[in-house]
A and B are shown apart, each in its own frame.
Chain A
């Protein structure tokens, strides 16, 4: 390759350089060879277990689809720089970022510098939109949300080479998605059974936003650590809750008393019926007994009426004499009339008396 034409001038100029190279070569040639070999091997990269690597050859991404671009854990053979550049990305790790833009207090860095307005709100009964985060629900109620977003890298090349900063894009996309999702639901729905729907809708919107921003990120979960009306209204919301619970309790009490009063009434009615049945049975038994006794007596009476009649009369009179507190005997009237004979008929001595002649 060397030209023979004008060797003298170039040779003369290059002579000191050639001597230097010769001198250096003789002393450090092993080093040079070692360095050259090491340079050739410098393209070999170790990809760790939670990483994938993409290769840029002359700056251009190798591979057409993410599956072809990404190289999994292990040894990766690539050319040394400047031909190849290996970019390693942690893809399995799940990162967590708190989103406080709609929470009670926004961090200082997110407060834009509004020079003329001093942001000192002494009034408790309001919220300063510049320093205090909140969102409006569909029925124009104010709620405050504290969110935690968990994400991981889904498309390593997109995230590393084209995407915006992960934390920034997550914060804004999640905030926008939540503001929009809250804006289409009523406050009562949001604070009760609509919470799951809210999270699902917001997460879906945030993911759509992340995809549209070519972030290469996947929102693995969106969590609401708190979702509540502002502190100053907490007692009003609690009052509704306790009114609801009281109403439920009152209904339950009424139900309980109803459940006990109906069986009670049933039991009383049953007892009355049973008593009546028992009374009836006993009355009938008594009547039958009396009837039998009467029939027996009758048989005797038919046989000898005078004797039976006499006996009965005497039994009765004797019993009456025995029972009565006082017994008086009076002579039979003379000629059918009593004269000057007074009978006092009185249940008790000393009370008013009737006189009979």
Chain B
């Protein structure tokens, strides 16, 4: 009986103190996670900000209360704004910024709800962009010449001119500013299109002319080569024919030289053979061979 009473008392004490501890912990402990901050306010007045993750303490409600602030990085894109470059060209630019709450106390005081931060950043960034881009030519943004491009410099200038202001005024830390878009006003695009068209036509004409030139060079080179080959062939042919004629003439001459008289006679006979054709009328004297033989026979 005494044991049971003791156990019961012990149990009561344990359960009771656990419950009390839980209530006390709930009221006074603040667990600050990674990527978070907690702003402790006393009677509504900001007291301190707990930015380091871990276990922090406060007085129980209603004296102190804890406001959880998201410290993660966020991305904000500004609107597209028309601005003028140093060489008086209208462009439309848009930047984006990676930001986070840098000073929870200042942030809560300046902005309160987080939605308001972006409207303030938009103004700050747009003004900075107008100022910075006004100090550079368009070729600093787009150019095929690498030495003209100054995008890194422009982005660092933008960050340098806005980050201290954002931190001081709004408790916002700007970590990265980039040019997200570089475009042209609608009315300038037409001119760019016309220029692009003209450039394309020029290219097409150039390719055509180059093609024709190359083709005609190939053709004329080939013709020249063919003519050279033909001429060489003709030369060779003529040489062969000449040599042959000389050889033939020598052969005949060697033979005929032995008996020129016989040669003359055979040549006369050959000529006679060649001259007399089917259309020839031959007139012979009756005293020439072979008629003379007949005559002489009759007379004898």
Binding stretch for chain A, among B39-47, B59-67, B68-76, B106-114: B68-76
> Residue A323 contacts which of B144, B234, B252, B278 (CB distance < 8 angstroms)?
B278
The range of chain A's interface size is 35 or more
Main secondary structure, interface of A, reads helix
Task: Identify the B interface with A (CB < 8 A).
Answer: 8-9, 11-13, 15-16, 29, 31-36, 53-55, 71-75, 77, 79-80, 92, 96, 98, 138, 141-146, 149, 151, 175-176, 178-187, 189-190, 192-193, 195-197, 199-201, 203-205, 207-208, 210-212, 214-216, 218-219, 221-223, 225-227, 229-230, 232-234, 236-238, 240-241, 243-245, 247-248, 251-252, 254-256, 258-259, 262-263, 265-266, 269, 272-273, 276-287, 289-291
- How far apart sit A336 and B108, CA to CA, in the bound complex (Å)? 159
Say whether, besides A247-B210, A253-B215, A330-B283, A297 and B262 are in contact (CB < 8 Å). yes
Binding stretch for chain B, among A40-48, A90-98, A265-273: A265-273
- How far apart sit A257 and B212, CA to CA, in the bound complex (Å)? 15
What's the least CB distance linking B68 to chain A, in Å? Answer: 11
Q: Does A277 contact B (CB under 8 A)?
A: yes
> Can you give 14 A-B contacts (C-beta < 8 A)?
A17-B16, A22-B8, A82-B29, A162-B35, A176-B180, A180-B179, A213-B98, A239-B204, A240-B203, A250-B215, A270-B233, A280-B241, A283-B244, A317-B272
> Residue A316 contacts which of B184, B193, B230, B269 (CB distance < 8 angstroms)?
B269
What's the least CB distance linking B109 to chain A, in Å? Answer: 24
Which residues of A123-142 are within 8 A (CB) of B?
123, 125-130, 134-142
Contacts of B210 in A (CB 8 A): 247
- How far apart sit A136 and B91, CA to CA, in the bound complex (Å)? 11
Q: Does A25 contact B (CB under 8 A)?
A: yes
Number of A-B contacts (CB under 8 A): 378
Main secondary structure, interface of B, reads helix
A276 touches B237 (CB 8 A): yes
A172 touches B254 (CB 8 A): no
Which residues of A47-90 are within 8 A (CB) of B?
56, 58-61, 82, 85
Binding stretch for chain B, among A146-154, A220-228, A288-296: A288-296
